[in-house]
Amino acid sequence: MTRVRVTAPRTILPGSGALPAVRSAADSRDAAEESDAGQVFVRSLIRSQLRLAVVVAAGFLLILVAFPLMLGLVPGLAESTIVGLPFNWVLLGAGIYPVIGLSAWLYIRTAARNEARYRDLVGDK
């Protein structure tokens, strides 16, 4: 007799940090092709993901443009130093990188929530 490994898809438990089971794109595509309602759901998901991407990119660019404006508009700020480092370097190193990380984290979290809502609408559990 040979051994057989039986597995089940992983589920997300609150606070567990486990990743959801990967569903194939064919499952979602089949759901969309089955009915007009499925096509509406897919278009809605695409619009919400595009809206999210535009909002995150616009917010990031707004912050990115605000840094040089602040340096140019506030007199003496560009020449000041913090712990021997020029302020503009500190601003770029300690200001921009956390914003990049926070933007990425918020984008991933919200995109996953949008996809979970889509799966709930379509009925994939």
First to last CA, the chain: 34
Assess whether pLDDT exceeds 70 at residue 14: no
Global pTM value: 0.62
pLDDT for 112 equals 93
Assess whether pLDDT exceeds 70 at residue 26: no
- Give the separation between CA 76 and CA 31, rounded to whole angstroms: 60
Percent of the chain with pLDDT over 90: 18
Q: What is the mean pLDDT of residues 12-38?
A: 59
Assess whether pLDDT exceeds 80 at residue 118: yes
- Give the separation between CA 114 and CA 125, rounded to whole angstroms: 15
